[in-house]
Amino acid sequence: MKRTYLPIILVSAVLLASCSKYVDTPLPKNELAPEQAFANDKAATAAVTGLYADMNVLNYFYGNIQMNYLTAMQADDLFYFSSFANYDVFRNNTLLPNSQYVESMWRDQYSYIYHTNACIEGLTKSSGVTPAVKDQLMGEAYFMRAFMHFYLVNMYGDVPLITSTNYQENNLKPREKTEVVYAQIISDLKEAKNLMGADYPTGARVRPNKGAATALLARVYLYTKQYALAEQEATAVLDDSHYELLDDLNTVFLANSREALFQLQPVNLGGGRNTWEGFVTVPSTPTSTTLFRLDTTHLIEKFETGDKRLANWTGHMIKNGANHYYPFKYKVRFVAGADVTEYSMVMRLAEQYLIRAEARIQQEKLDLGRQDLDSIRHRAGLDPLPVSLGKPALLLAVEQERKVELFCEWGHRWFDLKRTQRATAVLGAIKGVNWQPDDTLYPIPSEARSRNIYLTQNDGYN
């Protein structure tokens, strides 16, 4: 009997020893360890560009309808043709803490911030990436982190400031004062500006470069009323030979247009899409119903006679005797099998003229400011502004010019009304009882607040 036990015991011992090795599994074949992701130039570049693809994979993603059209609905540019609860709350300024896009914009932007922080941390540790590439990639990560915080702070007010991937540290961070967030944004953008080159890494304008960082810095200085700095940064961009205003308005939104500072390259083409912006707004046939319509009274009628932007950047059809206008900056809806000709415009040169115009007017440099405005008006086929205009009138002219130039682009109109404290004056008259002065800020999403008790709610929301 004893003899038979011995082999069993021996076998068991061997089995036990081999067990722990057996459950040491290799990395799954579709995942990379962080060291591998930043092991060389190619992998590290992919780690950074992965973010841009994530931003516009689907039509309701951040880089598409959300940032372009929902913000336009909150202002006075755009509406959706029928009742759709998720959009109605934007159009009516009746956002709720649990409105779908209020939650998803918060969630998405913080997930992009995680991505940028993971890149910054990975690149910092990496030794296999060549210094020039490392600088560019690091600059892109800082730029995007600043970009996301910029939008967060303008949509939600005070927001948590996230500069690492450490979830234990970040999970219960309270909201940070807007000024503190802006300080970080400025510091990140300065860093980005120093690290990145003036040329686009592959020539395509689909990743930020020094010009984009400088341009965003100009915008941030304008928003924070540091007009001299805003003028200085905008001038740097306007003097950069990579960029020019295009005379033909129909070429502005083309891929790698020379007016583009930063574009998102469309992905997920579905067999013939270009940008999601074009896909959702351009009607499928000349007579089919448009879903997103421009506000006739508050936008279309605000164009001056002869403004080429009205003819080139808006579409028009008459259905059942009614005029329907729709955004037409992007022309391509869906052409099966065709190449991509349009990219999603994130930042473009025209805005820099408008930033400098406003910054100069605010600094009492009225002539120079007016000239910048006239540059934009000239391109649109409009006459120069009367030299007689004083500061208040010029500031209103800036507002008007921004409205007709930048409509349906990345929240410009909405943010302009907010930052100039004109929202209640303008929107209150349009939206009626739905408008409350504290509608200028989004509610902090209920999902975020239910998981982080230190997040306070904005006024006017529960």
Partner 1 sequence: MRLTVFLMIVASLKVTAGTYAQSVSLSVKNASLEEVFTEVKKQTGYVFFYEREVLRSTKRVSIQADNLALNAFLSQVFAAQPLDYSIKDKTIFIKRKPLVAEIVQAMQEITGTVRDGDGQALIGVTVKIKGTNTGAVTDAAGRFRINAEQGQVLVVSYIGHETQEVTVSGNDISIVLQPAVSALDETVIIGYGSAIRRTSTGSISTVKSKDIESQPVMDPLAALQGRVPGLVVTTSNGMAGSSFQVRLRGQNSLREEANDPLYVIDGVPFFSEPLNTFTSANGNQSPLASINPSDIERIDILKDADATAIYGSRAANGVVLITTKKGSSGKTKFSFNVNTGGSKVVNMVDMLHTSDYLKMREEALANDDVTPDEDNAPDLVSWDKNAYTDWQKYMIGGTSKLTEARGSVSGGNAQTRFLLSGAFRKETSVMPNEEPFSRGAVHLSADHSSQDGRFNISASVNYSGTKDRSIASDLTSFYNLAPNYPLYDADGAYYWFGNMQNPAAYLLRKSTTRTDNLMANSVIRYTLLPGLNIKTNLGYTNTNMDQVQIYPEATFNPTSNNVGNMSYFGNSKVQSYIVEPQADYQLTLGKGNLQLLAGATWQENQRNINGLTGYGFPSDGLLEDPSAASEVVIRQPAYALYRYTSVFGRATYNWDEKYILNASFRRDGSTRFGPGKRFGNFGAIGAAWVFTNESFLSPSSVLTFGKLRGSYGMTGNDIIGDYAYLESWSSGSYPYDGTIGLSPSRIPNGDYRWEENRKLEFGLELGFLKDRLLFNTNFYRNISGNQLVDFALSPQTGFGSVVANFPAKVLNTGWEFDLTSVNIDKKDFRWSTSFNLSLAKNELKEYPDFENSTYKDTYQVGQSLSIVRGYQFTGIDPETGEATFRDFDGNGTIDEFVDYVTLGETMPAYYGGLQNSLSYKGLTLDFLFQFVKQEGPQLNYGYLSGTYGALANKDLSALDRWQKKGDITHIPKATRLAANANYDLYRLSSGVWGDASFIRLKNISLGYDLSKYTKTWKLSNVRVYASAQNLLTITSYDGFDPETKGLAMPPMKTITAGLQVGF
Cβ atoms 294, 325 nearer than 8 A: yes
Is 290 within 8 Å of 277 (Cβ atoms)? no
- Supply the DSSP symbol for 263: E
- The stretch among 30-38, 251-259, 345-353, 375-383 that binds partner 1 (CB under 8 A) is 30-38
Residue 202 makes contact with partner 1 by CB under 8 A: yes
Q: In angstroms, give the least distance from the CB of 350 to partner 1.
A: 24
Q: How many residues sit close enough to partner 1 to count as binding (CB under 8 A)?
A: 100
Cβ burial of 53 (10 Å; 0-12, 13-18, 19+) is: middle
Q: Which positions from 293 through 352 interact with partner 1, judged by CB under 8 A?
A: 320, 334, 336-337
CA distance 199 to 50: 20
Which member of 83, 241, 297, 305 binds partner 1 (CB under 8 A)?
83
Q: Is 197 in the site for partner 1 (CB under 8 A)?
A: no
Residue 25 binds partner 1 (CB under 8 A) = yes
Binding mask 372-411 for partner 1 (x = CB under 8 A): ----------------------------------------
Measured from the CB atom, the residue of 23 and 318 that comes closer to partner 1 is 23
Spatial CA neighbour of 408 closest among 196, 253, 262, 272: 253
Among 197, 270, 306, 437, binds partner 1 (CB under 8 A): 270
Q: Would you count residue 85 as binding partner 1 (CB under 8 A)?
A: yes
Q: Among 44-52, 229-237, 405-413, 433-441, which window interacts with partner 1 (CB under 8 A)? A: 44-52
Q: Is 228 in the site for partner 1 (CB under 8 A)?
A: no
C-alpha 192/C-alpha 211 separation (Å) is: 10
CA distance 104 to 445: 9
**Crossing angle for the helix pair 210-223 and 349-362, to the nearest 10 degrees:** 40
**Does the protein bind partner 1 through residue 71 (CB under 8 A)?**
no
Nearest to 348 by CA among 436, 254, 274: 254
Question: 146: helix, coil or strand?
Answer: helix
Nearest CB to partner 1, comparing residues 173 and 302: 173
Nearer to partner 1, 124 or 202 (CB): 202
Question: In Å, how far are 99, 137, 411 from 302, measured between CA atoms?
Answer: 31, 42, 18
Regarding 223 and contact with partner 1 (CB under 8 A), the answer is no
